[in-house]
Chains A and B, each alone.
Chain A
Amino acid sequence: AQSVSQHNHHVILSEAASLELGCNYSYGGTVNLFWYVQYPGQHLQLLLKYFSGDPLVKGIKGFEAEFIKSKFSFNLRKPSVQWSDTAEYFCAVNWRSSNTGKLIFGQGTTLQVKP
Protein backbone atom coordinates (compact mmCIF):
# COMPACT_ATOMS: atom_id res chain seq x y z
CA ALA A 1 0.00 0.00 0.00
CA GLN A 2 1.10 3.54 -0.59
CA SER A 3 2.40 5.21 2.54
CA VAL A 4 4.49 8.17 3.64
CA SER A 5 6.75 8.15 6.68
CA GLN A 6 8.19 11.08 8.55
CA HIS A 7 11.03 10.00 10.77
CA ASN A 8 10.84 12.61 13.48
CA HIS A 9 7.64 13.21 15.40
CA HIS A 10 8.91 16.02 17.59
CA VAL A 11 12.00 18.14 17.02
CA ILE A 12 13.30 20.81 19.37
CA LEU A 13 15.94 23.25 18.13
CA SER A 14 17.46 26.50 19.24
CA GLU A 15 17.29 29.53 16.99
CA ALA A 16 19.95 29.57 14.25
CA ALA A 17 20.30 25.79 14.32
CA SER A 18 20.02 23.89 11.07
CA LEU A 19 16.96 21.80 10.32
CA GLU A 20 16.45 18.61 8.39
CA LEU A 21 13.16 16.71 8.46
CA GLY A 22 13.03 13.32 6.85
CA CYS A 23 10.29 12.03 4.55
CA ASN A 24 10.18 8.69 2.77
CA TYR A 25 7.47 7.16 0.64
CA SER A 26 6.69 3.53 0.22
CA TYR A 27 7.56 2.67 -3.35
CA GLY A 28 8.47 4.06 -6.72
CA GLY A 29 6.53 5.23 -9.68
CA THR A 30 6.31 8.83 -10.75
CA VAL A 31 5.39 11.10 -7.91
CA ASN A 32 4.61 14.70 -7.11
CA LEU A 33 5.95 15.76 -3.73
CA PHE A 34 4.86 18.42 -1.28
CA TRP A 35 5.68 19.84 2.10
CA TYR A 36 2.92 21.62 3.98
CA VAL A 37 3.26 23.66 7.16
CA GLN A 38 0.68 24.43 9.82
CA TYR A 39 1.54 27.33 12.12
CA PRO A 40 -0.23 27.45 15.48
CA GLY A 41 -3.86 28.42 15.00
CA GLN A 42 -3.57 28.56 11.22
CA HIS A 43 -4.52 26.30 8.36
CA LEU A 44 -2.26 24.07 6.30
CA GLN A 45 -0.14 26.05 3.85
CA LEU A 46 1.97 24.85 0.97
CA LEU A 47 5.67 25.27 1.74
CA LEU A 48 7.14 23.83 -1.43
CA LYS A 49 6.52 21.29 -4.17
CA TYR A 50 8.37 19.09 -6.61
CA PHE A 51 6.94 17.88 -9.89
CA SER A 52 9.98 17.34 -12.12
CA GLY A 53 13.35 18.79 -13.07
CA ASP A 54 15.96 20.00 -10.59
CA PRO A 55 15.64 17.71 -7.54
CA LEU A 56 16.58 20.56 -5.22
CA VAL A 57 13.57 22.81 -4.82
CA LYS A 58 13.27 26.05 -2.93
CA GLY A 59 10.16 27.15 -1.13
CA ILE A 60 8.97 30.04 0.96
CA LYS A 61 10.71 31.39 4.05
CA GLY A 62 14.13 29.94 3.20
CA PHE A 63 13.06 26.30 3.13
CA GLU A 64 14.34 23.84 0.56
CA ALA A 65 13.89 20.15 -0.10
CA GLU A 66 15.84 17.55 -2.03
CA PHE A 67 14.24 14.70 -3.94
CA ILE A 68 16.41 11.57 -4.00
CA LYS A 69 14.63 9.12 -6.27
CA SER A 70 16.83 6.15 -5.40
CA LYS A 71 16.01 6.57 -1.73
CA PHE A 72 12.33 7.44 -2.19
CA SER A 73 13.01 10.48 -0.05
CA PHE A 74 12.10 14.16 -0.01
CA ASN A 75 13.80 15.75 2.98
CA LEU A 76 13.09 19.29 4.10
CA ARG A 77 15.95 21.57 5.12
CA LYS A 78 16.59 25.05 6.43
CA PRO A 79 20.08 26.32 7.25
CA SER A 80 19.05 28.52 10.17
CA VAL A 81 15.69 28.25 11.91
CA GLN A 82 13.83 31.09 13.59
CA TRP A 83 11.39 31.06 16.47
CA SER A 84 8.64 31.80 13.93
CA ASP A 85 9.29 28.43 12.27
CA THR A 86 7.63 26.71 15.21
CA ALA A 87 4.89 24.70 13.53
CA GLU A 88 3.82 21.27 12.38
CA TYR A 89 5.26 20.07 9.09
CA PHE A 90 3.66 17.50 6.82
CA CYS A 91 5.14 15.68 3.88
CA ALA A 92 2.62 14.62 1.22
CA VAL A 93 2.95 12.49 -1.90
CA ASN A 94 0.78 12.21 -4.99
CA TRP A 95 1.36 9.12 -7.09
CA ARG A 96 0.64 10.16 -10.66
CA SER A 97 -0.70 6.70 -11.44
CA SER A 98 -3.77 7.62 -9.41
CA ASN A 99 -4.70 10.30 -11.97
CA THR A 100 -6.65 12.00 -9.21
CA GLY A 101 -4.25 14.34 -7.45
CA LYS A 102 -4.86 12.35 -4.26
CA LEU A 103 -2.36 13.14 -1.51
CA ILE A 104 -1.04 10.66 1.01
CA PHE A 105 0.28 12.49 4.07
CA GLY A 106 2.91 11.55 6.58
CA GLN A 107 2.03 11.73 10.25
CA GLY A 108 3.65 15.11 10.69
CA THR A 109 6.62 16.51 12.60
CA THR A 110 6.16 19.09 15.32
CA LEU A 111 9.02 21.57 15.32
CA GLN A 112 9.61 23.68 18.40
CA VAL A 113 12.22 26.43 18.09
CA LYS A 114 13.50 27.88 21.34
CA PRO A 115 14.38 31.59 21.26
Chain B
Amino acid sequence: DTGVSQDPRHKITKRGQNVTFRCDPISEHNRLYWYRQTLGQGPEFLTYFQNEAQLEKSRLLSDRFSAERPKGSFSTLEIQRTEQGDSAMYLCASSPRGGSVGTDTQYFGPGTRLTVL
Protein backbone atom coordinates (compact mmCIF):
# COMPACT_ATOMS: atom_id res chain seq x y z
CA ASP B 1 0.00 0.00 0.00
CA THR B 2 1.83 3.05 -1.26
CA GLY B 3 -0.87 5.59 -0.47
CA VAL B 4 -2.66 8.00 -2.76
CA SER B 5 -0.37 9.59 -5.33
CA GLN B 6 -0.91 12.71 -7.41
CA ASP B 7 0.91 14.07 -10.40
CA PRO B 8 2.22 16.65 -10.93
CA ARG B 9 2.95 18.03 -7.47
CA HIS B 10 3.25 21.56 -8.81
CA LYS B 11 1.93 23.21 -11.95
CA ILE B 12 2.45 26.75 -13.13
CA THR B 13 0.45 27.82 -16.13
CA LYS B 14 -0.65 30.93 -17.92
CA ARG B 15 -4.21 32.14 -17.85
CA GLY B 16 -6.26 30.57 -20.60
CA GLN B 17 -4.27 27.35 -20.79
CA ASN B 18 -5.68 23.90 -20.06
CA VAL B 19 -4.23 21.72 -17.32
CA THR B 20 -4.77 18.09 -16.35
CA PHE B 21 -3.99 16.45 -13.02
CA ARG B 22 -3.80 12.76 -12.27
CA CYS B 23 -4.66 10.85 -9.10
CA ASP B 24 -3.85 7.22 -8.35
CA PRO B 25 -5.86 6.00 -5.37
CA ILE B 26 -4.87 3.32 -2.92
CA SER B 27 -5.32 0.03 -4.72
CA GLU B 28 -8.78 -1.49 -4.39
CA HIS B 29 -10.26 1.73 -3.00
CA ASN B 30 -13.47 2.10 -4.96
CA ARG B 31 -14.30 5.65 -3.87
CA LEU B 32 -12.36 8.66 -5.10
CA TYR B 33 -12.80 12.33 -4.29
CA TRP B 34 -11.43 15.59 -5.61
CA TYR B 35 -11.17 18.69 -3.44
CA ARG B 36 -9.81 22.19 -3.86
CA GLN B 37 -8.14 24.01 -1.00
CA THR B 38 -7.13 27.65 -0.79
CA LEU B 39 -5.05 29.29 1.90
CA GLY B 40 -6.79 29.45 5.26
CA GLN B 41 -9.72 27.31 4.16
CA GLY B 42 -10.62 23.68 4.52
CA PRO B 43 -10.82 21.37 1.51
CA GLU B 44 -13.80 22.20 -0.71
CA PHE B 45 -15.61 19.24 -2.26
CA LEU B 46 -15.48 19.14 -6.07
CA THR B 47 -16.59 15.70 -7.17
CA TYR B 48 -16.91 12.05 -6.15
CA PHE B 49 -16.58 8.71 -7.96
CA GLN B 50 -17.69 5.29 -6.92
CA ASN B 51 -15.75 2.97 -9.21
CA GLU B 52 -16.01 4.62 -12.65
CA ALA B 53 -19.30 6.40 -11.99
CA GLN B 54 -19.24 10.09 -11.14
CA LEU B 55 -22.01 10.31 -8.56
CA GLU B 56 -21.75 13.88 -7.39
CA LYS B 57 -20.39 17.13 -8.75
CA SER B 58 -20.32 20.36 -6.82
CA ARG B 59 -22.41 23.24 -8.13
CA LEU B 60 -19.31 25.32 -7.51
CA LEU B 61 -17.58 23.43 -10.30
CA SER B 62 -17.98 25.37 -13.52
CA ASP B 63 -18.19 23.82 -16.95
CA ARG B 64 -14.46 24.42 -17.32
CA PHE B 65 -13.82 21.59 -14.88
CA SER B 66 -14.20 17.95 -15.81
CA ALA B 67 -13.16 14.75 -14.11
CA GLU B 68 -12.96 11.17 -15.27
CA ARG B 69 -12.17 7.83 -13.75
CA PRO B 70 -11.93 5.31 -16.58
CA LYS B 71 -12.08 1.68 -15.49
CA GLY B 72 -12.50 2.75 -11.88
CA SER B 73 -8.80 3.08 -11.23
CA PHE B 74 -6.88 6.37 -11.61
CA SER B 75 -8.70 9.65 -12.11
CA THR B 76 -7.96 12.84 -14.00
CA LEU B 77 -9.16 16.37 -13.32
CA GLU B 78 -8.99 18.80 -16.22
CA ILE B 79 -9.39 22.55 -16.02
CA GLN B 80 -9.94 24.32 -19.31
CA ARG B 81 -9.19 27.98 -19.95
CA THR B 82 -7.63 28.46 -16.53
CA GLU B 83 -8.27 31.66 -14.60
CA GLN B 84 -6.23 33.20 -11.80
CA GLY B 85 -8.99 32.26 -9.38
CA ASP B 86 -8.27 28.60 -10.10
CA SER B 87 -4.95 28.89 -8.27
CA ALA B 88 -5.21 26.48 -5.34
CA MET B 89 -4.14 23.11 -4.01
CA TYR B 90 -6.08 20.29 -5.68
CA LEU B 91 -6.39 17.30 -3.40
CA CYS B 92 -7.42 13.77 -4.24
CA ALA B 93 -8.63 11.29 -1.64
CA SER B 94 -9.77 7.69 -1.74
CA SER B 95 -11.69 5.46 0.61
CA PRO B 96 -12.03 1.72 0.80
CA ARG B 97 -14.69 -0.65 -0.42
CA GLY B 98 -17.20 -1.72 2.14
CA GLY B 99 -18.85 0.06 5.03
CA SER B 100 -22.11 1.87 4.71
CA VAL B 101 -22.63 5.26 3.15
CA GLY B 102 -21.83 7.85 5.75
CA THR B 103 -18.97 5.96 7.32
CA ASP B 104 -16.38 7.05 4.84
CA THR B 105 -12.80 7.47 5.96
CA GLN B 106 -10.77 9.25 3.34
CA TYR B 107 -7.04 9.07 2.72
CA PHE B 108 -5.56 12.09 1.01
CA GLY B 109 -2.81 12.36 -1.56
CA PRO B 110 -0.08 15.03 -1.37
CA GLY B 111 -1.97 17.38 -3.64
CA THR B 112 -1.19 19.32 -6.82
CA ARG B 113 -0.48 22.99 -6.29
CA LEU B 114 -1.71 25.03 -9.27
CA THR B 115 -0.54 28.56 -9.92
CA VAL B 116 -2.21 30.47 -12.73
CA LEU B 117 -0.26 33.52 -13.85
Q: Do chains A and B stick together as partners?
A: no
